[in-house]
Structure 1
């Protein structure tokens, strides 16, 4: 009987992994490994799947330096990973820790460290061991006033820009915690019990204790795996065009992507903007670093140039061969030293006639927030520099946020949007190998 239960668990998890991941490729699949029961179960199941599918697993463990036993926990996680056949890398959250909001800060640090390590290893997907119990606990916490987001089986990394291009897969999201531990017991496996899980100072622990004591669980509303974007008309690196009937989830995703920030808008400010869109009023507003210009049935979202100064988006100096993100919207890689990225604001008149002509294809509100390049020895800024590659992140990020991808292979192919709201200008990737001036003959934002 125990073997039959284990076989059924493996079959369910393998099916979820097969639905999302490629086979027989050298690229690793990353896995967040805390050493707790859920992550050890995921480690064993994922490594078994990887052996049969021609993949490798890279387990990533974060030492938060918050518990005197944390170094020993990392050692345990390394041993468990290597015994299961996975590669392993230990990560450490260093520096001063906040005196308030520690749980949220630790979660953000963990996601950031894991995302950077996964990307550096060439992974495109990170496995997390959230279970059905985590969903119910989070629902109870939200019912009590917490602002936690909802976890889904397949979703983008929540950190930006560290998590660019990465998806999270939670193949245990429909499994019960007790069932996983019973399966581990049957295998004679060990795991770590973090005392923080029973510490009532933490909201997650209080929710877990309340549910264990018999408190009724709130209803869980499963989000469809591929929710259609409502009200989105067209997307480019410079702007997003929407209609007035855009839904809240799509609007929030578009605003944070266009604004280049890390946290999508929620609560009253988002509701107020949706109410204004539902009216017949024409208006201009700013939210989440994005400018919202509404005229008739046309809604245009562009980067609010004034927010560049408030966010202190100063010059970004490029290190040869190292990709760097500017304003959360563009990634640049230079092949030679001396290049810096700055906003076009205050510099547009210094561009060449050809560059100004190319910028004319952008919506007027987007031009001053467009990046330009400067270099010692150049008379003025340029749109493209010799050996500098620019990759737009807005369309790619929005594509992931709105479930335009369903599989690991989708993360490798170039984003494809069916509509173009503006004349062709710059593609997502553009390298100028000749002179500094760029002709506006590209395929347009993809």
Structure 2
């Protein structure tokens, strides 16, 4: 591929246009960039740094040292020098501990996302830039054709790790660009980058796909993903309603969000659920830790209390002023220490009459999976308490997974038409507020890195 003399400017214009469509100029929150030091990420760094300077946005580059290559320390140092030279802030992150003997690539990808998500949230960021290209799309398509379970790469998608990535979106503004285009542009800039030898190692599926596509005339174009969210409603108590004709991708996202986990359902099991729903069958089934109940036209998803009991979350002590996530479905913040979160299962009879009446409005199969608060030195649990804020995460997470956001501002304020969230369980000393099931609200979950 030959670049015309002005095509470098054209590349910048395309990149700036994609960033402008998604990000807010002049915001004090940093935009985070995942920086490996490879050609794609160095190109994105240089272009994004120019955009950030022009738009008055801080840019924070994060480099993860997986500690899998003896040269990784030098690579990390190189990435830091490149970030600072571009005018970006920079932090190094490391994947420590023992490494798995199987599934190393997937484990490294997940570790990278977790480390980046934690650092991005700590910095107050809402968006993380990744340097995937059209070549990555083509390689992933080829790998899936060979049986890989890699998710589809999208320009705008939620962080694939949970709960570390809650509220974070990934933006891939180079997804329509070719890898060769970026390297020719970098060469014209006099820029250096790292070539990871693993990219040519045939032991890795990504490398084999890259070699198979080498010399191809072009890469697969980015395909739009239909949101298809008509008829999907989510509740603050973690319940989700879907229509009988729900699309497979939507049902998969709703199951994962309702169950609080992050592993998508197997394709064959998901297809069977979709078939039964469209056939009009009344049934109950459990998948991804979530229970699906279909009766007539009503299809409701919820956390399965029995599944939670088989893999119970440990009691979660709330530190003062620190948000804590329970079972991947609720976030809590207490003003003072002394509160512990546990599941309601086995404690329902110990609740007050008012709390029992409130929780009885939930489907029976999920009541035991609802969190209750226990105060130090007190025996009786409560659903809510003064000085303890509870925020449901299922509706928020599902909204992001189903493409109901298009811009960074959507992550701060609900999009137009979204109903405000309302607590469905009241503080126990307020008898006038309780569960109101009529008050409703509205990541790819298996994305590659």
Deviation at 1:314, TM superposition (A): 2.5
Give the unaligned 5+ runs of structure 2.
442-449
- 2:423 pairs with one of 398, 421, 426: 426
Q: Which residue of 2 aligns with 1:138?
A: 140
Q: Which residue of 1 aligns with 2:224?
A: 223
SS state at 1:26 partner: coil
Structure 1 residues 232 and 320, CA gap change in structure 2 (3 angstroms): same
Deviation at 1:227, TM superposition (A): 2.2
Structure 1 residues 130 and 431, CA gap change in structure 2 (3 angstroms): farther
Distance, in Å, in 1 between the alignment partners of 2:404 and 2:347 is 36
Structure 1 residues 105 and 321, CA gap change in structure 2 (3 angstroms): same
Distance, in Å, in 2 between the alignment partners of 1:145 and 1:71 is 34
- Asked if structure 2 preserves the Cα contact closer than 8 Å seen for 1:340 and 1:374, the reply is yes
Q: Which residue of 1 aligns with 2:445?
A: none
Structure 1 residues 441 and 106, CA gap change in structure 2 (3 angstroms): closer
Are 1:210 and 2:204 matched, yes or no?
no
Structure 1 residues 431 and 116, CA gap change in structure 2 (3 angstroms): farther
- Asked if structure 1 preserves the Cα contact closer than 8 Å seen for 2:238 and 2:393, the reply is no
Greater relative CO, 1 or 2 (CA 8 Å, sep 6+) = 2
CA RMSD of superposed structures (Å): 2.3
Q: Which residue of 1 aligns with 2:119?
A: 117
Distance, in Å, in 2 between the alignment partners of 1:283 and 1:431 is 32
Q: Which residue of 2 aligns with 1:14?
A: 16
Deviation at 1:323, TM superposition (A): 1.3
Deviation at 1:167, TM superposition (A): 0.2
SS state at 2:6 partner: helix
Q: Which residue of 1 aligns with 2:166?
A: 164
- Asked if structure 2 preserves the Cα contact closer than 8 Å seen for 1:285 and 1:292, the reply is yes
Distance, in Å, in 2 between the alignment partners of 1:162 and 1:403 is 19
TM-score (norm 1): 0.93
Q: Which residue of 1 aligns with 2:446?
A: none
SS state at 2:246 partner: coil
Q: Which residue of 2 aligns with 1:314?
A: 314
Distance, in Å, in 2 between the alignment partners of 1:336 and 1:147 is 44
Map residues 50-199 of structure 1 onto 2, 5 A cutoff: 50-199=52-201
Give the unaligned 5+ runs of structure 1.
none
Distance, in Å, in 1 between the alignment partners of 2:165 and 2:115 is 9
Are 1:412 and 2:409 matched, yes or no?
no
Q: Which deviations, in whole Å up to 9, do the C-alpha atoms of 1:171-197 show, x marking residues without a partner?
A: 000000010011111110011111101
Distance, in Å, in 1 between the alignment partners of 2:178 and 2:307 is 45
SS state at 2:125 partner: coil
Structure 1 residues 438 and 130, CA gap change in structure 2 (3 angstroms): farther
TM-score (norm 2): 0.92
Distance, in Å, in 1 between the alignment partners of 2:90 and 2:222 is 35
SS state at 1:139 partner: helix
- 1:440 pairs with one of 429, 434, 443: 434
Distance, in Å, in 1 between the alignment partners of 2:263 and 2:90 is 30
- Mean Cα displacement is larger for which, 35-44 or 315-324? 315-324
- Mean Cα displacement is larger for which, 273-282 or 151-160? 273-282
What is the aligned residue count?
438
Distance, in Å, in 2 between the alignment partners of 1:294 and 1:316 is 33
- Asked if structure 1 preserves the Cα contact closer than 8 Å seen for 2:235 and 2:439, the reply is no
Q: Which residue of 1 aligns with 2:368?
A: 368
Distance, in Å, in 1 between the alignment partners of 2:89 and 2:418 is 40
- Asked if structure 2 preserves the Cα contact closer than 8 Å seen for 1:132 and 1:172, the reply is yes
- Asked if structure 1 preserves the Cα contact closer than 8 Å seen for 2:33 and 2:130, the reply is yes
- Mean Cα displacement is larger for which, 136-145 or 26-35? 136-145
- Asked if structure 2 preserves the Cα contact closer than 8 Å seen for 1:44 and 1:84, the reply is yes
Deviation at 1:390, TM superposition (A): 1.0
